[in-house]
């Protein structure tokens, strides 16, 4: 859900940040100092961004795959190919058609909520022996106190 929140904020704010300005491009020295970043700081930021994107991709694919190893393998392979080859093309599509970002956000929210639900269902079933035979619809009703046997006000 944290990834969903960050993605929502980026879409909502259009948070792309100011582009780095080359030295001597008609910008004051105070503004140039704001954009100049040391080599090792830049390397660290790129490595951190790559690791976080890779972790996000692995978690998203694992959540969407569920129990299917075939879907997991295909999803991770596709994610690697898209990150390596098609990222420029996808960035162009997102800039041209911003609605695609909202579709992606909806899919990520759906997968996150499904992972939260399935995880809580597994924990309550294994730890407390509650709701082990319920389907999702009845499980949600039961957790909200709306299912059969729920106390009426």
pLDDT tens figures, 69-86: 898 888 888 887 777 777
User: Both 92 and 108 in a single domain?
Assistant: no
103 found inside a domain? yes
User: Both 82 and 42 in a single domain?
Assistant: yes
**What pLDDT score was predicted for residue 144?**
76
User: Both 119 and 134 in a single domain?
Assistant: yes
Domain that holds residue 60: 37-96
User: Both 41 and 92 in a single domain?
Assistant: yes
**What pLDDT score was predicted for residue 109?**
92
**What pLDDT score was predicted for residue 103?**
92
Q: Domain tally for the chain? A: 2
Ramachandran class of 129: left when φ > 0, alpha when ψ lies in -120 to 50, beta otherwise: left
**What pLDDT score was predicted for residue 24?**
47
Q: Which residues of the chain have pLDDT under 70?
A: 15-37, 131, 133-134, 136, 147-153
44 found inside a domain? yes
132 found inside a domain? yes
């Amino acid at each position: 859900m944290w990834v969903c929140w960050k993605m929502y904020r980026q879409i909502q704010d259009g948070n792309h940040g100011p582009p780095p300005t080359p030295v001597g491009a008609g910008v004051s020295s105070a503004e140039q100092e704001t954009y100049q970043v040391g080599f090792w700081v830049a390397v660290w930021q790129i490595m951190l961004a790559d690791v976080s994107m890779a972790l996000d991709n692995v978690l998203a694919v694992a959540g969407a795959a569920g129990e299917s190893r075939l879907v997991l393998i295909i999803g991770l392979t596709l994610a690697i190919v898209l990150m390596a080859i098609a990222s420029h093309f996808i960035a162009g599509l997102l800039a041209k058609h911003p609605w695609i970002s909202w579709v992606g956000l909806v899919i990520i929210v759906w997968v996150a909520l499904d992972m939260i639900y399935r995880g809580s269902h597994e924990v309550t079933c294994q730890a407390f022996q509650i709701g082990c035979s319920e389907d999702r619809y009845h499980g949600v009703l039961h957790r909200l106190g709306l299912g059969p046997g729920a106390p009426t006000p």
